[in-house]
Structure 1
Amino acid sequence: MSNDASPPGLMDLPATVGGYAAVEFGPLVRAFARMVGGQPGAGGALTVHLRGEPLVEIWIGDAAPRRPWDADTGAIVFSATKGIAATVIHRLADRGLIDYDAPVAHYWPEFAANGKGRITVRQVLSHRAGLYGLPEIARGLDDVLDHRMMEDHLAAAKPDHLLGIPAYHALTFGWLLAGLARAVTGRGMAELFRTEVAEPLGTEGIHLGSPPPGSTTSAALLHGNKLSAVGTNYVSLVLGRAYSLPGPLGAVARALFLPGLDQLLEGDDPPILRTELGAGNGVCTATGLATVYAALANGGMHQGRRFLSPETIRAMRQVETFRLDRALFYIPMMWHMGYHSLPVPGAHAGFGHIGLGGSFGWAEPRLGLSVGFVHNRLGIGSMSLDQLASAWVLPLVVRGAHAARRTTTPAVPAAASVA
C-alpha cells in the first residue's frame, strides 16, 4: 500500500512492507519489518483478524530470488500443519462421525493390532498414544514420503512405554489423523484440508503439500541451510545412537530423526511437497491461517455461518494435560486436542500450533482474535530466534487488539496493493 495515500484508520507502512494495517498495530508492524525483513531471498507475512475482521495483512521480502512476497504467497509451515489436520478431525466429530473418547480402532479396525485397541481419539489428538517413534515404522526418506504406507505401519505398530504420557508425535501425528479420517470418510488428508477447511471458510491459502495447478497460492522457496547439518555422518551417528538413551534426548531422537531425512527439504521442489504429511507439510498463507483460527476464536462462526458448534469449540479450548512433554525436553506444552498453549504473554489463554522455524496460527477466544504468521527462513544461524517469533508477535498483537477494540469501526480497506 502506498504510504502517500493511506485510508483513514490505517497506518503509513514502512517502505519495505506491503499490505495494510490499522494504526493501533504500529508497534507490531515495525517489529515485523525489523525481524522478518532484510535478507535477500527470504520474507514472510502476518495477518491479524479481530472478531473476524481483518485489521492487519502485511508482507515483506522475497518468496524466492527475484520473486517478491505478496498476499498469495504461502510458506511451508511445518508443525503448524497439525492445527489444520486437527481441525479436520473436529469437523468430523462435530457431525457425529467421530467420538473423542471412542477407541481409534472403533473406526480403524487395523489399528487395534499390538495392544492398541483401547487408545482413544482424545489420546491421539493430545500426543499420548505412545506412537511417536520413527525408527519403529520407517527406514528412511522413501518410507516417510509414502503416506499410505506410514498409515498402515502405524496401524500395525506397538506403542512404547510412554503410552498415556505426553510425548510429541512430531511426524506420526499427521499419519495417525490421516488414517483415522480415511477410515471414517474414505478420503485422504489433502482432500480433507480442502473440503473440510479451505472451502467452507472460503480461503485459498490452505493446502497440504504443493498447491495444485491453478491455485492462486504460490509456495515460497525455503531460504537457508535448512537441515543440512543433521545429514553429516557425525551428527547422524550421534543421533542414531541416541535412540536407546533414556529420558528426553532418546525420545527426541526417536521422534525426529531418521538417516537421510535431511533430504526432505532439499532443492527448489523439495520432496516434502510431494506427499501428504499432516504433521508438517502444509503450505499456507498468513491470511489462510488467520481465517481458520478466526472461526475457532469466535465461537465456531465464520461470516455469519457456523463452521463448528459451540460444544466442539469448548472441547477444543480445553487443556487435556498439563504434564510436561517427554519428547520436547519437558516443555509445558499444555496440549489441547490437536493444539497447544504456551506460558508466554498473549498466548497462555489462547491455542494454536507453532511450526519449525516459528510459523504459526493462533486463536485467542477471549478477544475474538486470530493470527497467522508465516515465513520461509530456515537455517541454523537464525533458528533459535525465529522459533521464538510468537514471543514477540503475540504480545504486540494482543496490545494492538485491545486498542482496536476501543474503536467503533474496523479500519479495513477495500483493497490493498504491494508497497
Structure 2
Amino acid sequence: MTDAFPLPSASPAELGLDPAKLDLLCARIEADIAAGHHPGAQVALARHGKLGFFRSFGAARHGVPANDATLWLLYSNTKVITAAGLWALAEEGRLRLSDTIAQYLPGFEAGGKGGITFVQLLTHQAGFPSAEVPAAAWEDAALLREVVCGFQLEWEPGSSVRYHPASAHWVAAAVIRAVTGEDHRAYLRRRIIAPLGLEGELFVGVPPEVQPRTVDMHDVDGSVRMPEGTAAHRAAGIPGGGGYGTARAMAAFYQALLNGGAVAGRRILSPRMLGYAIRNYTGDRPDEYNGMPMHRGLGPHLRGETAGIRGLGDIAHPGTFGHGGVGSSYCWADPASGVSFAFLSNTRQAEEFHGARMNTLSDLAHAAIIS
C-alpha cells in the first residue's frame, strides 16, 4: 500500500455532509452484517478533491477483520476503469470511439460483427451479451483474440440495449493489446491507476504478494464463491468484472471523473473527453437485462429522469453517473454536488436484496449533501 493516499482528508461537516445521515448509512450496513447478508463491507465519500468519510466493517475473510487496506472484488465496477483506458486511447488519437472495432482488431469482423463501433460496445448494444471467454484465455493473448473474434451475434448490433456482463470488455482488453502492445492490466495500471496515485489500492490483476489483502467473495448461503476465490481469478484482471480496490480508491477515481479528469494535481483525461464519454447514449430505451432504462454512457450509466434507477439512488441528481458490481457494490459521482461515493461488500446477494439495499444507501448519501 502507498504511504500517503492522494486525497487529503476532511471531516464530513467541513465538506457540507450531514454526519447524522452518514450515521444512518453506517447503521444500515451494520444491521445487514448482523443479519448475515454479508460478512464485511467498506464505504467512502469524497467531495471537492477531499476524502470526507471512510469506514470498514466486519470481516474480510473468515477470522480476518476488514481494515483500510482490504481489497474488495469490484465485479462490474471494473468496467468503468477499462472503459477509461479506451477513452485515453481515443484522446491520444490512437482510435476513435465512433470507429468500428474491426479497424483496430482485424478478424473481429467475422460473423457479421464488422460494423460494431466502440460506442455500441460500451453502451451494451454490440449484440453478443452471452458470449464467454474461457479461463484458458485469461493469460493467453493469442487465444483471447481468437475467442473474441469468434463471438457470435445474438441480435443485430444497435437494435437492442442488453447488458453484456463480461464479453464486451474482453473485446476492449484485446483492442488495448492490439493498439498498444501491452497487456490490458499493465496498460490500465500505467495509464489510469498509477497516475492517480492509486497503485497501492486499485488493481485490475492482483499480483501474488498483494493477494493476502483481498476479501473472499461469498454466495448468499455463506460459501466462498468460485472461481472468484482462486489466485488465478484474482490475478486475471477480468476487464469486465475482476478488479479489486478499496472504497476510498474508487471514490478518488470518481473524483477524477468529476473534476475534468484530474484530482490532487494528477490528470489522466481531459474535460472534453469525459464530457463525450459520460453522457446518455441510450435515452430511455429499456435495458432488457435490467428491465428498466439505464441511460448508458460509454462505461458508466446515468441517473436520468426516469422514475427509478438501479443503484444510484432515486433522489440522485439526473447527472449522477456510476456503476455497480453484481449483488455487492456500487460506486457513483454527482456532478451537481461534487460528491463521489463507493460501497463495497463481500457477498454476491440476490438482486431483490441488493437493489433495495443500494437504493437506501445511495439515497442516504445523497440526503447527506446539505450545502
TM-score, normalised with respect to structure 2: 0.84
| Other-structure match for 1:410 | none
CA distance in 1, matches of 2:95, 2:240: 20
| Residue aligning to 1:309 | 270
Tell me, in whole angstroms, the C-alpha distance in 1 between the residues paired with 2:109 and 2:216: 40
What CA distance in whole angstroms lies between the structure 1 residues aligned with 2:253 and 2:246? Answer: 11
What is the deviation of 1:379?
A: 4.8
Residue 208 in 1 paired to residue 204 in 2? yes
Alignment of 1:11-410 (within 5 A): 23=19, 25-36=22-33, 39=36, 42-134=39-131, 142-143=135-136, 145=138, 148=141, 149-164=143-158, 165-203=160-198, 204-209=200-205, 211-215=206-210, 218-225=213-220, 263-265=226-228, 268-269=229-230, 271-322=232-283, 323-328=285-290, 330-342=291-303, 343=309, 344-346=314-316, 348-379=318-349, 384-400=352-368, 402-403=369-370, 406=371
Q: CA deviation at 1:270?
A: 6.0
Query: What CA distance in whole angstroms lies between the structure 1 residues aligned with 2:231 and 2:105?
Result: 31
- The structure with the greater share of residues assigned to helix is 1
SS in 2 for 1:77: strand
How many residues get paired?
A: 346
* 8 Å contact from structure 2 (residues 144, 174) kept in 1: no
Deviation at 1:331, TM superposition (A): 2.2
Consecutive unaligned residues of structure 1, counting only runs of 5 or more, are 1-6, 12-20, 229-261, 407-419
Structure 1 residues 227 and 156: alpha-carbon distance in aligned structure 2, compared to 1, 3 A threshold: farther
Change (3 A) 1:335 1:225: same
On the 8 A contact 2:33/2:40 being kept in 1, the answer is: yes
Question: Which residue identity is paired with 2:213?
Answer: S
How far 1:168 sits from its partner (Å)? Answer: 1.1
SS state at 1:48 partner: strand
Secondary structure of 2:302's counterpart equals: coil
Contact 1:130 1:161 (C-alpha < 8 Å) held by counterparts? yes
Quote the Cα distance in structure 2 between the aligned partners of 1:175 and 1:147: 12
| 1:129-176 CA-partner distances (Å, limit 9, x unpaired) | 112223xx56xx545756633442221334232411211111102201
Contact 1:175 1:279 in 2 (8 A): yes
- CA–CA distance in 1 between the matches of 2:193 and 2:255? 13
Contact 2:123 2:299 in 1 (8 A): yes
Letter in 1 for 2:115: R
Show CA shifts across 1:82-135 (max 9, x none).
Answer: 11111111122222222111111121122222232221111111111112223x
1:320 aligned counterpart, secondary structure: coil
- For residue 394 of structure 1, give the secondary structure of its aligned residue in structure 2: helix
How has the CA–CA distance of structure 1 residues 357 and 147 changed in structure 2, closer, same or farther, with 3 Å as cutoff?
A: farther
Q: 1:226 to 1:95 in 2, by over 3 A?
A: farther
| One-letter amino acid of the counterpart of residue 315, structure 1 | Y
Q: Taking every aligned residue pair, what percent have the same amino acid on both sides?
A: 25
Rg comparison, structure with higher value: 1
For residues 94 and 355 of structure 1, the distance between their equivalents in structure 2, rounded to whole angstroms, comes to 27
Asked if 1 retains the 8 angstrom alpha-carbon contact of 2:128 and 2:155, the reply is no
Partner of 1:252: none
Contact 2:328/2:346 (CA < 8 Å) preserved in 1?
no
Distance 1:314 1:8 in 2: 28
Normalising by structure 1, report the TM-score: 0.75
Q: How far apart, CA to CA, are the structure 2 residues paired with 1:327 and 1:106?
A: 29
| Contact persistence 2:38–2:345 (CA under 8 A) | no
Cα 1:398–1:218 shift into 2, 3 Å: same
Give the letter aligned to residue 282 of structure 1: G
**Deviation of the 1:52 alpha carbon:** 1.4
